[in-house]
Every structure is written in C-alpha cells, then in structure tokens.
Chains A and B, each alone.
Chain A
Amino acid sequence: DVKVTQSSRYLVKRTGEKVFLECVQDMDHENMFWYRQDPGLGLRLIYFSYDVKMKEKGDIPEGYSVSREKKERFSLILESASTNQTSMYLCASSLNLGWEQYFGPGTRLTVL
C-alpha cells in the first residue's frame, strides 16, 4: 500500500523560530511536492522536487525553502516563522509530473 508520512500532525511554534516539516514516501517516486491549504484558497504549491537535490519554486515560495538529500525524503523549512504561515501543510509524491499524486495526512502548523 502506498504511503506518504509527515513528521507531525500538529505543530505549534513561535514567531521567528526555524521550523522543519518532514515528509517521507515509500513508493520510490521521483517527484515530491509541498502545498499549503487555506480555507477559500484551496491548495497552493510552495515547492516541488523532481529528483534528489533538485527543486523548483511553485506558486508561493516566499518565506520557505526545501531540501531533498534522499529520494524518499523532502523537507520544508520555514527560516523564520511568521503568523501568516499558520496553515495546513500537505506533502505529496508522484511517479511522473502531473500524474496521480499521493498525499500525506498533513501537518497543521500554528505560529504564535
């Protein structure tokens, strides 16, 4: 059974903290994605990666960075968390760009 796991379901951080969100997939997929989900805005792509050490900006990369050192792991980094980054963060992976994406359960991040 395909599986995408995220390191935390709920996270509370303070403004200015550095935050790491981890995502692991066990399907040997080439592509991995980070989205944020906000009411009324749907899913917005932050970054994606199509290979180890490769990354591309999505629609809203400002304030975020990513790291992909191993094929199965894709990390989202908030260098200095701000309250407007309070959101649900969803990780996904796919075999080919644009094909079926498999999603993790999400991390609900609150920045105080």
Chain B
Amino acid sequence: GNSVTQMEGPVTLSEEAFLTINCTYTATGYPSLFWYVQYPGEGLQLLLKATKADDKGSNKGFEATYRKETTSFHLEKGSVQVSDSAVYFCALKSSGDKLTFGTGTRLAVRP
C-alpha cells in the first residue's frame, strides 16, 4: 500500500536559517505529492503540490521537487521566519486513491 515517511521533529532553527524537511514515499503508479501546513490552533492548509516527476511546487518561499528516482519530495526554504513555526505534513495521492499523510514534522523557529 501507499505510505509516507517524514523526518521526526521537532526541528528547531534560528530565524533566517535554511530549512529542509525530508519526505520519502512508497506508492504504486505515479502519485501526486503534497505538503500541507498546520499553524497553531488551526486546521491543515495546502502549501504546495507536484503532480509528476521533476515538477517543482513552490509557495511562500517554500519549494519541493518531485524526485521519482529517489521517491522523495523534500521541503526546503532558504530563510525561515518565526511565522513559519508550524507542523508540516507530506502527503500523496495515487490514481483512484485517497490522500495518505505522513506523521508530520514540527518546526520551531527562534527569533
């Protein structure tokens, strides 16, 4: 079946540091890949997505590239802000299937 593995948190960074949150997946077929973000006290919201190999999703300074050869979709940001403190979820959808979420990675950014 489908599965998503994320690096365990929490990840603690200073403001303006570089961020990487690793995500790898197992799926049949050619899945679409997503990153969702959950700010404190809120529900999840879509951050970015990629629907085919080598696609790069980007939003709010975050980027992730769909790497089929390594089955990965790592989230990166060049310079994090305190306001980026949240929980980040990697997710996938393969044809005819529902979304499968990873366990989430908490990011804490210090001023």
The interface of chain A, by Cβ under 8 A from chain B, is: 4, 33, 40-43, 45, 48, 58, 90, 92, 97-106
Tell which of A90, A99, A104 has the most Cβ of chain B within 10 Å.
A99
Given known contacts A90-B44, A98-B93, A100-B46, what 5 new A-B pairs fall within 8 Å (CB)?
Answer: A42-B104, A43-B89, A97-B96, A98-B32, A98-B97
Q: How far is the CA of A58 from the CA of B99 in the complex (A)?
A: 11
Chain B residues near A106 (CB, 8 Å)?
42-43
**Do A58 and B98 form a contact, CB below 8 Å, given A98-B93, A104-B43, A105-B43?**
yes
- B20 beta carbon closer than 8 Å to chain A: no
- B41 beta carbon closer than 8 Å to chain A: yes
- B101 beta carbon closer than 8 Å to chain A: yes
The residue that B101 contacts in the complex, of A4, A40, A43, A105, with Cβ under 8 A, is A43
The interface of chain B, by Cβ under 8 A from chain A, is: 32, 34, 41-46, 49, 89, 93, 96-99, 101-104
Chain A residues near B93 (CB, 8 Å)?
98-99
Q: In the complex, which residue of chain A has the Cβ closest to the Cβ of B34?
A: A100
Chain A residues near B42 (CB, 8 Å)?
105-106
28 pairs, A vs B, C-beta closer than 8 Å: A4-B43, A41-B103, A42-B89, A42-B102, A42-B103, A42-B104, A43-B44, A43-B89, A43-B101, A45-B98, A45-B99, A48-B98, A90-B44, A97-B98, A98-B97, A98-B98, A98-B99, A99-B93, A100-B34, A100-B46, A101-B46, A101-B99, A103-B44, A103-B45, A105-B41, A105-B42, A106-B42, A106-B43
